[in-house]
């Protein structure tokens, strides 16, 4: 069978999600032929994942009928034929709704196919002296071999129509002994690692992902961001995403010498380590930002406003954002006035209301609360929906309020009256105190998040629910 020359580079979807068959332009004359077997720029533009291959393997097969597979490996593969012709068979062995889906095709030198991690790959040579070549995006190791998933070539459920009957084909004894589909343990998805999992946002992510074995949680005891060994001893091949829920948030203490060093260590140095890990291992990095990266002089804050932090905390958060922005696959989730499980403004006001204490509360800083359950849900939505990478503002919906307005709402919900709250200016509240400067306006524009398909809950209803749950607890 002769090779078809001068095809247009095209991509064709298959019944297996993520498996894409490509026609390759092959240029030939009386001397032979030439093709661009892997051309990153053109193929990425066509939709091929930028899977960053690190190893190129060639399988030479002397006789027609040589049959290899079905092996699902813990990496992605880009497969083509250098000489001869094959019958390829692919079976989805990943956990999920497409488990067991089958696709077959004959490939010559003018075709290639992309096979994602966890899809079983097999082929049978149709000509003598067939050379089968493939790029992979991880290095083979004995440890990785233990993560393979296999399927028997003769599985009745897959019912692959091998051109050369298996009893006449050349097979290895190992391939003959592989299990039927009913006995295959599906390859699990890559994991999401949540670091800083014991803080307010980390606790909300734990609740949201409760029961999901593909999400792993690590507090400081399990993953110390200040310890470089935590980054070098973990097998990052098994992960797809890191969610960074850790941060140094002691705004006033950050202005002291010790606090400044601690803030930079957690909010910048550790974030740089996470970013390097994400780049090296092609991971998605989710990072939580703050309204404190701005000076608050603008009435509303969009994602693309230039940084203008007032204090050390804001400076470290802005520096962390800049570091994360160079990671190809990243989400920076910018929040304001975070409320979750633990010490926070709403809990403090509720406690004061219950004890009959009348507080003075700042009435010239404006913004919206961000409840951690909505931040967590927004992060999950961005990851699951495949929203474009970049920065997203994420607070709760509702009219902007001052801290005094919110305190009044808390008092009214707890005691039935707002009268216990006295509004004061920022300068008056912090007079005679060592305090970091605060942005006067923290109202985040949510249009980009809504366009991505996520609408956070309205703040008044979320506040009511939060206080009801607090009372019951």
Name which of 164, 456, 213 is nearest 339 in CA terms: 456
What is the spatial distance between Cα 184 and Cα 389, in angstroms, rounded to a whole number? 35
Contact 257, 264 (CB under 8 A): no
For residue 71, indicate whether it is catalytic.
Answer: yes
The pair of three-digit structure tokens given for residue 41, joined into one six-digit string: 């720029």
Which residues partner with 105 through β-bridges?
88
What is the spatial distance between Cα 186 and Cα 280, in angstroms, rounded to a whole number? 27
- Please give the helix or strand (H or E) that residue 372 lies within, else none: helix 372-385
Residue 167's contacts (CB-CB under 8 Å, 6 or more residues apart) are: none
For residue 134, indicate whether it is catalytic.
Answer: yes
CA distances from 6 to 28, 195, 337 (A): 8, 50, 60
- The verdict on whether omega for the bond into residue 355 sits within 30 degrees of 0, i.e. cis, is no
**Is residue 38 packed enough to be buried (19+ CB in 10 Å), middle (13-18) or exposed (0-12)?**
middle
Q: Please list the helix, strand and coil fractions of the chain in percent, rounded to the nearest 5, in that order.
A: 30, 25, 45
Among 71, 178, 287, 381, the active-site one is: 71
Name which of 56, 107, 229, 90 is nearest 160 in CA terms: 90
Instruction: State the pairing for strand pair 239-244/191-195.
Output: parallel
Among 134, 209, 292, 313, the active-site one is: 134
Q: Can you give the length of the chain in residues?
A: 473
What is the spatial distance between Cα 325 and Cα 315, in angstroms, rounded to a whole number? 15
What is the spatial distance between Cα 195 and Cα 213, in angstroms, rounded to a whole number? 16
Catalytic machinery residues? 71, 134
């Amino acid at each position: 069978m002769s090779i078809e020359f001068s095809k247009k580079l095209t991509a064709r979807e298959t019944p297996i999600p993520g498996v894409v068959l490509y026609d390759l332009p092959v240029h030939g004359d009386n001397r032979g032929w030439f093709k661009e077997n892997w051309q990153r720029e053109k193929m990425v533009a066509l939709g091929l994942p930028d899977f960053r291959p690190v190893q190129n393997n060639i399988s030479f097969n002397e006789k027609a009928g040589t049959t290899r597979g079905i092996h699902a490996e813990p990496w992605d593969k880009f497969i083509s034929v250098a000489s001869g012709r094959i019958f390829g068979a692919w079976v989805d062995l990943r956990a999920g709704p497409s488990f067991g889906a089958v696709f077959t095709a004959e490939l010559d030198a003018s075709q290639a196919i992309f096979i994602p991690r966890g899809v079983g790959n097999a082929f049978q040579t149709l000509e003598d002296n067939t050379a089968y070549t493939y790029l992979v995006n991880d290095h083979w190791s004995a440890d990785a071999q233990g993560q393979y998933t296999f399927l028997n070539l003769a599985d009745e459920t897959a019912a692959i129509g091998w051109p050369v009957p298996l009893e006449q084909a050349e097979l290895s004894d190992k391939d003959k002994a592989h299990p039927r589909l009913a006995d295959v343990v599906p390859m699990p998805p890559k994991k999401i690692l949540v670091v800083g999992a014991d803080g307010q946002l980390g606790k909300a992510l734990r609740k949201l992902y409760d029961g999901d074995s593909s999400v792993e949680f690590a507090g400081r005891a399990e993953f110390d961001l200040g310890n470089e060994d935590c980054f070098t001893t973990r097998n990052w091949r098994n992960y797809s995403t890191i969610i960074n829920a850790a941060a140094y948030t002691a705004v006033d203490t950050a202005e002291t010498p010790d606090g400044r060093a601690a803030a930079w260590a957690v909010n910048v140095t550790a974030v740089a380590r996470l970013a390097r890990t994400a780049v090296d291992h092609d991971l998605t990095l989710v990072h939580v930002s703050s309204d404190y990266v701005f000076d608050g002089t603008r009435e509303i804050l969009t994602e693309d406003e230039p940084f203008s932090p007032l204090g050390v905390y804001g400076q470290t958060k802005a520096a962390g954002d800049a570091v994360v922005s160079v990671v190809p696959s990243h989400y920076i989730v910018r929040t304001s006035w975070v409320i979750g499980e633990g010490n926070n403004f709403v809990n403090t006001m509720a406690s004061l209301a219950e004890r009959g204490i009348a507080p003075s509360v700042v009435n010239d800083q404006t913004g919206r609360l961000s409840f951690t359950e909505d931040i967590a849900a927004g992060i999950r939505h961005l990851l699951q929906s495949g929203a474009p990478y970049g920065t997203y503002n994420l607070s709760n919906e509702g009219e902007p309020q001052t801290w005094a307005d919110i305190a009044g709402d808390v008092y009214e919900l707890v005691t039935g009256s707002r009268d216990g709250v006295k509004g004061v200016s920022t300068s008056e509240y912090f007079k005679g105190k060592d305090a970091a400067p605060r942005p006067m306006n923290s109202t985040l524009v949510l249009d980009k998040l809504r366009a991505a398909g996520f609408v956070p809950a309205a703040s008044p209803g979320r506040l009511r629910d939060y206080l009801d749950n607090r009372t019951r607890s």
